[in-house]
Amino acid sequence: MNGKRTVLSDDAAVNKRALLQRMQGTEDLVMSDTSNGHGKAITVCYLEGLTDTRRLEQTLVLYLEDKPLFPAFRTDSKLSSIEEVADCLVSGMTVLLFKEPAYGVAIDTMGVQLRNVDEPPSEATVKGPRSGFTESLFNNLALVRFHFRAPSLRVEFRNCGYLSKTTIAILSVGGITNAAILGEVHRRIGEISEDAVLRSNDIEEWITDNRGTMFPLIESTERPDRVVGALLDGRIAVFVQGTPFVLLLPFVFLQAFQVSEDYSWNYYIGSAMRVLRLFCGLIGMFLPAFYVATVTFHHELVPTPLLQSIAAAKEPVPFPAVVESTAMMLAFEIMREAGIRMPKQVGQAVSIVGALILGQAAVQAGIVSPIMVIVAALTGICTFTLPPTTMNYVIRALQFGMTILASLLGYVGITVGIIMLLTYLASLRSFGVPYLGPAAPFDMSEMTDVVVRRPSTSRNKRPSLFRAMNNNRYRGKTR
């Protein structure tokens, strides 16, 4: 911990004591003495549970028999200190310690059981690739290589966390990714001072432009095809060992309403679904506020028959519209969270039954009006159409703020809230990229591939927002 290095000794017993001390006397450390065909002494070190012992045995047999070829052995990366040996061991490697001269060699024998590649549950799709990332960093990189077979794809490794030394990979495309943005990513990651980096969100909170905002300035995904699409746009992907969620940056607000499935359908259908999600996002954010403002201040804007129906429904309710609306939205969020946290087999049933029973009971008891139940249900359903990103939670949180403003000033309050929100969003940046781009600053040529889905035959330019080094997409014939 003090930064000093303990050089490997020619005495195996000294090395064992020093390594055991470095590993805090852990009892899952195995250190076994053997020799190769020439009688040269070797100490084999590994951690039980992290190592695939069958793979280790096969590799050692090849080496001890002096077989010239076995792939796991790298003689060009010799270890010279106890600290280096310990770092390799906790990474799932087996280390062979030699003497005269004293050095160590690491063998990749990782044997941790990980789940298979499957469709990501948070980004399910009807049409398109079904593969999703897992907790294995190198499996995830292989998935990207599988979808994007280009030698220009560049992978750079870094270690984060003073104690955990978590491996992260930064992906970019040579000739496309802006070197200044890539350098800024490396600089910010290099400034991370954490004991342990266990998830991608730990990286995100350190490198984001504004740590005080609830709006996501970095995108997160589990889909390889989405990562490849981002790389081709000139963006950068950050992979973290141990988590299936990959960070994509820079990120702008309107991208939160896009899904990779848009490009798997006819562009008319893809455009219609994208516009529908934008519309649902507006409904989810503003519908409760408009209801409260209308029934509290602006009766004259409602047709008389509808106004009479609303008044009759609200007559037995003792609470003002803002209390009624807030209570219903809060109850909906509680049921939604309960459905997520409960076991999968019963979670959906509990959330549906709970909504039906509580809604009906609340109306019969005169706590809320039927129209408020409709508003809350429609608002919740609209938020379900949005991709399950941080932006989804942000929009649901903004419902409450807009509703309170509407209860104070009516439509004027909603207008004030919209102005404040747009002003705030316009001030945000994601690695120097305007958060509201291409809407502000306005660029009509790029809006056609943000609000709607541009046909693949017309997508001959990369987004200028991400300052790609080559804005023209390649149109050469494949072999």
Q: For 176-234, what is each residue's pLDDT tens digit? A: 999 999 999 999 999 999 898 988 999 999 999 999 999 999 999 999 999 999 999 99
> H-helix or E-strand containing 358?
helix 344-364
Q: How far is CA 182 from CA 105, 154, 347, 437, 469, in A?
A: 33, 11, 42, 20, 12
- Residue 40 has a pLDDT of 78
Strand ranges, E, within 322-463: 429-430, 433-434
The answer to the question of residue 169 being in a domain is: yes
155: left (phi over 0), alpha (psi -120 to 50) or beta: beta
**Cα–Cα distance between 366 and 388 in angstroms, integer?**
34
Q: Tell me how crowded residue 323 is: count the other CB atoms within 10 A of its CB.
A: 15
Q: In sequence order, which residues have a C-beta less than 8 Å from that of residue 194 and are 6 or more positions away?
A: 160, 161, 162, 164, 202, 206
243 and 362 assigned to the same domain: no
The answer to the question of residue 478 being in a domain is: no
Helices 370-384, 390-409: inter-axial angle, 10-degree rounding:
150
User: Of 350 and 459, which is predicted with more confidence?
Assistant: 459
Which of these three, 413, 430, 447, is where a domain ends?
A: 430
Q: In sequence order, which residues have a C-beta less than 8 Å from that of residue 149 and are 6 or more positions away?
A: none
Q: Tell me how crowded residue 146 is: count the other CB atoms within 10 A of its CB.
A: 12
Q: Assign 442 to helix, strand or coil.
A: strand
Task: Answer whether the bond into residue 101 is a cis peptide, omega within 30°.
Answer: yes
User: Of 364 and 30, which is predicted with more confidence?
Assistant: 30
Q: Tokens for 476?
A: 């050469």
- Is the pLDDT assigned to residue 245 strictly greater than 90? yes
- Residue 72 has a pLDDT of 45
- Residue 414 has a pLDDT of 96
Q: Are 77 and 106 in contact (CB under 8 A)?
A: yes
Structural domain harbouring 44: 12-108
Which of these three, 251, 286, 312, is where a domain ends?
A: 251
**Cα–Cα distance between 103 and 81 in angstroms, integer?**
8
Q: Are 77 and 71 in contact (CB under 8 A)?
A: no
Q: How far is CA 164 from CA 90, 106, 222, 239, in A?
A: 9, 18, 23, 16
40 and 91 assigned to the same domain: yes
Q: Are 248 and 219 in contact (CB under 8 A)?
A: yes
The answer to the question of residue 373 being in a domain is: yes
Mean pLDDT calculated for residue range 386-410: 90
| Mean pLDDT, rounded, of the chain | 86
Mean pLDDT calculated for residue range 15-20: 93
Mean pLDDT calculated for residue range 395-421: 94
Q: In sequence order, which residues have a C-beta less than 8 Å from that of residue 260 and are 6 or more positions away?
A: 123, 125, 128, 223, 225, 226, 229
- Residue 126 has a pLDDT of 82
23 and 69 assigned to the same domain: yes
152 and 72 assigned to the same domain: no
The answer to the question of residue 116 being in a domain is: no
The answer to the question of residue 311 being in a domain is: yes
419 and 313 assigned to the same domain: yes
Q: Assign 425 to helix, strand or coil.
A: helix
301 and 329 assigned to the same domain: yes
Q: What percent of the chain has pLDDT over 90?
A: 40
Give me the residue label for tokens 């609306």. Answer: 325
95 and 178 assigned to the same domain: no
Q: Tokens for 212?
A: 């005080």
100 and 235 assigned to the same domain: no
- Is the pLDDT assigned to residue 343 strictly greater than 90? no
Q: List helix spans (H) across 30-156.
A: 53-64, 82-90, 137-147
145 and 91 assigned to the same domain: no
Q: Are 194 and 163 in contact (CB under 8 A)?
A: no
Longest Cα separation, the chain = 100
User: Of 73 and 319, which is predicted with more confidence?
Assistant: 319
- Residue 225 has a pLDDT of 92
The answer to the question of residue 479 being in a domain is: no
- Is the pLDDT assigned to residue 299 strictly greater than 70? yes
3: left (phi over 0), alpha (psi -120 to 50) or beta: left
Which of these three, 251, 281, 301, is where a domain ends?
A: 251
Q: How many domains is the chain built from?
A: 3
User: Of 173 and 458, which is predicted with more confidence?
Assistant: 173
205 and 322 assigned to the same domain: no
275 and 404 assigned to the same domain: yes
The answer to the question of residue 439 being in a domain is: no
- Residue 366 has a pLDDT of 82
- Is the pLDDT assigned to residue 473 strictly greater than 90? no
The answer to the question of residue 125 being in a domain is: no
| Listed residue (98, 123, 93) closest to 388, CA to CA | 123
Q: Does the model's pTM come out above 0.75?
A: yes
**Cα–Cα distance between 80 and 396 in angstroms, integer?**
55
- Residue 133 has a pLDDT of 93
339 and 269 assigned to the same domain: yes
pLDDT tens digit string along 59-93? Answer: 777 766 655 444 444 444 688 899 999 988 988 88
Mean pLDDT calculated for residue range 150-160: 92
Residue type, 460: N
Lowest mean pLDDT of 15-19, 255-259, 371-375, 470-474, name the range. Answer: 470-474
- Residue 8 has a pLDDT of 92
- Is the pLDDT assigned to residue 336 strictly greater than 50? yes
DSSP class of residue 127 equals: S
Q: In sequence order, which residues have a C-beta less than 8 Å from that of residue 368 and are 6 or more positions away?
A: 317, 319, 324, 327, 328, 362
pLDDT tens digit string along 356-366? Answer: 677 778 888 88
